[in-house]
Amino acid sequence: MRRLVLISLVVSAVCSSTLAAQPAVSDGTLTGTREVGLFPTGRVLSTAYSVEDSRMAYGGTVTLGTQLRRHVALQGGLGIAYGKQELTYYRPPLFAFTPTLSLILQQSTASNFQPYALVGAGYEFIRYTRARCDCEQSRSLGIGNFGAGFRQMIGDRRAFRAELSSQIGKGGPAYTGFAGMSMFVGGPSALRRRDTPRPPQRVRPEPASIPVPRPQPAASQPAPTPPRAVVPQPPRTVAPPVTLGDANGVLLSIDGTQVDFSKPGWRDEAEPILDGLVVDLTSDAGQGIKLNIEAHTDNVGANAANNMIALDRARAVRDYLVTQGVAADRIRITSMGEENPIAPNNTALGRQHNRRVIIRREK
């Protein structure tokens, strides 16, 4: 009965805190969302209820958390583990039920990689498969829950998560480790964590109107006007075809001063350059040009993460061009990651040169 009451209190605390954390609109973080996870779990049990030489147990953990702020979350968890002990009458196998309620302090949820620390409390409920020699078939004790972990975002509402924690109570600590996928539900209806480039009000400037001079009124005694001479119009000439790009087919290059370090978007000063390219690509001479958007990064971080951020940068440029009238089937995107650097990565200036987006003309 006490076990059910405690689990109900944990779930109620996590769910009720969502109402206070719910934002009206998305601010680029996970604030107001609920994180749900189900993880395979390994445990080293406490000597308060387990034998010294057979403390390993295996099971699973389910978590339900609420993102209160970009740096703070409240999480309830329930772990269930089975330990064989020594499979004897005196040391029978056991099940450990561990409900906890913890406060999580984390790096901003606007980041893709989010390390965190947690502190909380809970209970250990131990149930032996049969009565031991001391006639105790179940036990319970209060614990403190302390640990650390990380969350790696995969998209806007999924994350890979790993955590290692210690449950400290009477008779020595227990240790718990798990890893797996978690999902974010609820929150703003249009949750989007990454920056989206804002389109300008107008891309093509309208041609300026040329005022037509009006004829002046004649004098009181007009002189006879000579007949108007017919001026022959010059023959119309057809403009030669326009060739866009340099010898390597590069139409545009956005360098590291215009690319954010850890975000897929670009800075405001890069938009006029993209707008100029849009004018060329939507003109009569540029309608048949196909593009390859190639994104590069420096070597800071894991190679897989660099490939992902480069692909997101190329995708952001493509989406911007499509919103301005360039057909999507004319654009191909490529992630080069940290390959093909143009400068050494051992200096800040070199890494800035290597963070770039190149738009090439497809051959």
- Out of 139, 167, 186, pick the residue that ends a domain: 186
- Out of 160, 186, 212, pick the residue that ends a domain: 186
Q: Are 178 and 254 contained in the same domain?
A: no
Work out the number of other CB atoms within 10 angstroms of the CB of residue 132: 16
- Out of 186, 203, 234, pick the residue that ends a domain: 186
Greater pLDDT, 270 or 143: 143
**pLDDT (0 to 100) of residue 35:** 94
CATH number of domain containing 101:
2.40.160.20
Q: What is the mean pLDDT of residues 123-137?
A: 77
Q: Are 27 and 136 contained in the same domain?
A: yes
What tens digit of pLDDT does each residue of 338-358 get?
Answer: 888 889 888 988 888 888 888
Q: Are 67 and 170 contained in the same domain?
A: yes
Q: Are 85 and 165 contained in the same domain?
A: yes
Backbone angles phi, psi at 332, to 5 degrees: -120, 140
Gap between the Cα atoms of 273 and 235, Å rounded: 36
Q: Are 159 and 282 contained in the same domain?
A: no
Q: Are 12 and 104 contained in the same domain?
A: yes
Q: How many CA atoms lie within 13 A of 151 on its CB side?
A: 29
Residue 141 lies in a domain: yes
Structural domain for 352, as ranges: 250-361
Helix (H, G, I), strand (E, B) or coil at 316: helix
Residue 62 β-bridge partners: 38, 78
Structural Rg of the chain based on CA atoms = 33
Gap between the Cα atoms of 34 and 15, Å rounded: 8
What tens digit of pLDDT does each residue of 260-273 get?
Answer: 655 666 667 777 88
Residue 217 lies in a domain: no
Residue 242 lies in a domain: no
**pLDDT (0 to 100) of residue 185:** 92
Worst-scoring range by mean pLDDT, 61-65, 178-182, 242-246, 251-255?
242-246
Q: Are 178 and 263 contained in the same domain?
A: no
Read off the amino acid at residue 170.
K
CA nearest to 326, candidates 270, 273, 281: 281
Q: Are 33 and 166 contained in the same domain?
A: yes
In this predicted structure, the answer to whether residue 241 has a pLDDT above a threshold of 90 is no
Q: Are 160 and 254 contained in the same domain?
A: no
Q: Which two tokens stand for residue 255?
A: 């360098």
60-81 in b/e burial notation, b at 16+ Cβ within 10 A?
Answer: ebebbbbbbebbbbbbbbbbbb
Residue 169 lies in a domain: yes
Q: How many residues does the chain have?
A: 363
**pLDDT (0 to 100) of residue 123:** 92
Residue 260 lies in a domain: yes
Gap between the Cα atoms of 81 and 342, Å rounded: 53
Helix (H, G, I), strand (E, B) or coil at 309: helix
Residue 201 lies in a domain: no
Residue 241 lies in a domain: no
Q: Are 84 and 175 contained in the same domain?
A: yes
**pLDDT (0 to 100) of residue 25:** 44
Gap between the Cα atoms of 97 and 165, Å rounded: 15
Residue 340 lies in a domain: yes
- Give the total number of structural domains in the chain: 2
What tens digit of pLDDT does each residue of 193-231 get?
Answer: 544 444 444 444 444 555 656 666 555 565 666 666 666
Question: What pTM value is reported for the model?
Answer: 0.49
Q: Are 138 and 256 contained in the same domain?
A: no
Q: pLDDT band at 153, cuts 50/70/90?
A: very high
CATH number of domain containing 257:
3.30.1330.60
Q: Are 36 and 175 contained in the same domain?
A: yes
**pLDDT (0 to 100) of residue 176:** 96
**pLDDT (0 to 100) of residue 63:** 96
